[in-house]
Each structure stands twice: as structure tokens, then as C-alpha cells.
Amino acid sequence: MDSLTSRHESVSGHAASALMLASLFAWWAAQLRALLPPSLARRVAAQESLIVEIDELEETPQGRLKLRRDGHERLLHGLQAPAPEAARLPTALRLPRGLALSREVALPYAALRDLQTVLGFEMDRLTPFTAGELVWGISQIRPDKPRGRVNLRLTFAPKAPVEALLAWLAGLNLRPGCIETGEGRIELTRQRHERRHYMRFACAVLAILCFAAPFIRQQIALGAAAQAIADATPQARIAMDLRHQLAVTASGRGAVAAARQGGDALRVLALLTNALPDDTWLADLTLKSGDLTIDGQSGNAAKLIGLLSAVPGLHDPGFTAPVTRTADGKADLFSLHATVGP
């Protein structure tokens, strides 16, 4: 019982809050309406609209005009002579009985993202026609997320007779914005909304262009200046090419000079061949950046230091490891280092 009482109090509190908000919005709308010019305020307050009600579709459709004001409809006159004031009002079209049909449709909840596209693909399943053969609209959209579906009312009518009727009404300066039925509604002003969407898109593009215009002009000016410089001084490219060639040549000469300063491997090998005795042979020779390392065997490794010291271009020869004897005791194993230079 306590839980029921608390629920009742909660519902009552929500209802009171809703009434307060509705009163606030009504007061605010009245304040805004007071700021409008008298003629426009009367028109907004009246909420007038024109209803074109067609009874029969013949060569000349039969029907009547009605003026709707605050939910009440008043008969005006026949379709042949609409008053100019009435023709300027928001207009709705009511088709003969049986021409516009309506049905309940249940779709997966994911279809809520783009109902127009989904219904366009499903139209031949939901009706005996394809989407291209109908004018149609949706209303009373009721999402049901717990059950994973969305319920709505689909209203549709054959396109050919509707377009013929709209063309005839346009000749009378009557352009309905929608088709009304007792159960649903078909919007006919979708193209106008799309046009407005394109206009908004065009305005956004123009705004972006206006913002980017200074930067674009700056880039154009810089490009023009660069082109003027290139056209005024064609010799600059020739000079740059020559300078590049000179730099490449100088770099090659520097590399050759550095290689010569570090030592010519063939020249060093020839000097060693002439300087070393016949009982000496080399197992390994490395020359890198002026550092010479040789490994080998000799009948008397100790005298090699003196022989290499006398070779022009070899400096500071010395052993890099202790001299050892071979297994048969007939030769010395050595490892020497020297510096190659002028």
C-alpha cells in the first residue's frame, strides 16, 4: 500500500510539473506574439489554412474549398474561383474516398535512422505498387526500443492521378503542401525542403570561401610573384645547374683526395711485396682510413718492424699481438699495424 501511495504521489508530481511547463510556454508564446505587428499577430493567432476537398476525379475535378481556423472548418466556395487571399494560405488536399490508403507498418528498430530509404525499398512488399508509382508519407512514428522495432502509419496514393490533380490545381493558383486523410498525412513539399537544404549547403560553402578568400588570394599573389621571378631571371636556373655540377665535381675530388690520403690499397700492397722478405707471406691485409693491419707468417718476425719502417708512406709499424711460433717451430705468426700517409 505504501508503494502504491508513493507511486501515486510521484505521478501527481510529474503531472504538476508538466502543467507548470505548459503554462510557462503558453505565457512565453503570448509575450512573443505581443511583439509582432498587429496584422501578422492576427494571422498567427488565427492559424488559418485552406483545405481543397475533392469529391470526384473527372476531366474537371469536383470539390470544394474549406477554411480551417482554430480546428474548425468553414465552407468557402467551389474550386473554379478561389479568392486570392485564400490561395495564399497554407493549403492541404483531401482526395476522394478510396484513392489514398493507410496502413500500420512495423519495422526493425535500426530502420529508424533512415525510414524514407527503408520504406522505399520495402514499398512493393507493403503495397501492390513500387515506391516510384506512389506518393507516400509516414506519420505516428512510435519507437519501441525494448522490442527492437518501430511502429508507424504509412499513407500512400497513386502518383499519376495525384500529379494530374496537382497540375490542374496549379492552374487555379492552388498549390497544396500536403495530402490529408483521416488516418495519415503525405507531405508534398519535400522538394522545397530539399531546395532549402541545398541553399543552406550553398550558404555554408560561400561562408567557407569568404573565410578562406584572404588565404587563397595570398597564395595566388605568392604564386604570381614566384612566376614573375622565374620569368625575369631565366639564367638563375642555369647558374643553379652549374653550381650543382661544380659541387658534385668538388665532392668527387674531395672523395678521391681523401681516398689517396687514406692510402691506395694496390700501392701499399706493391710496397709490402717489395719490402717483405721471401720467407714471409700474408694471410690477411686490411686498409681502412689510413690504418693498415696485416696478419701472416715469417721466418723472423722481429726484423719486419725495421723493414716496414723503411718503407715510404708507412708510419709507426708495431705488433698488435704477441708473436708466436707455428706448430712445427719453423715460422713466426704475427699481427702488425701501421699508419699509411704521406
| In a shared domain, residues 269 and 181 | no
Residue 70 sits at the vertex; the CA angle it makes with 66 and 76, to the nearest 5 degrees, is 20
Q: Summarize pLDDT for 77-120 with one digit per residue, the tens.
A: 777 666 666 667 788 888 888 888 889 999 998 888 888 888 88
- Domain-located, residue 209: no
Q: Would you state the pLDDT for residue 8?
A: 42
Beta-sheet pairing, 178-180 with 91-94: parallel
Q: Residue 69 is part of which domain span?
A: 43-188
- Domain-located, residue 9: no
Task: Specify the number of domains making up the chain.
Answer: 2
- Boundary residue ending a domain (162, 188, 214): 188
Distances (CA, A) of 106 to 151, 154, 292, 307, 331: 5, 10, 91, 106, 103
| In a shared domain, residues 63 and 174 | yes
**Any idea what the CATH number is for the domain that residue 89 is in?**
3.30.420.380
- Boundary residue ending a domain (128, 154, 188): 188
Q: Summarize pLDDT for 140-173 with one digit per residue, the tens.
A: 889 988 998 999 999 999 988 888 888 888 888 8
Contacts of 321 (CB under 8 A, 6+ apart): 334, 335
- Domain-located, residue 204: no
Distances (CA, A) of 342 to 308, 317, 339: 15, 15, 10
Residue 311 has pLDDT above 70, yes or no: yes
Question: What is the distance in angstroms between the CA of the first residue and the CA of the last residue of the chain?
Answer: 113
Q: For the chain, give the mean pLDDT.
A: 77
- Boundary residue ending a domain (147, 170, 188): 188
- Domain-located, residue 226: no
Contacts of 95 (CB under 8 A, 6+ apart): 54, 157, 162, 165, 179, 181
Strand order in the sheet with 91-94: 72-78, 62-69, 48-56, 91-94, 178-180, 185-187
Q: Is the pTM of this model over 0.85?
A: no
Cβ atoms 185, 139 nearer than 8 A: yes
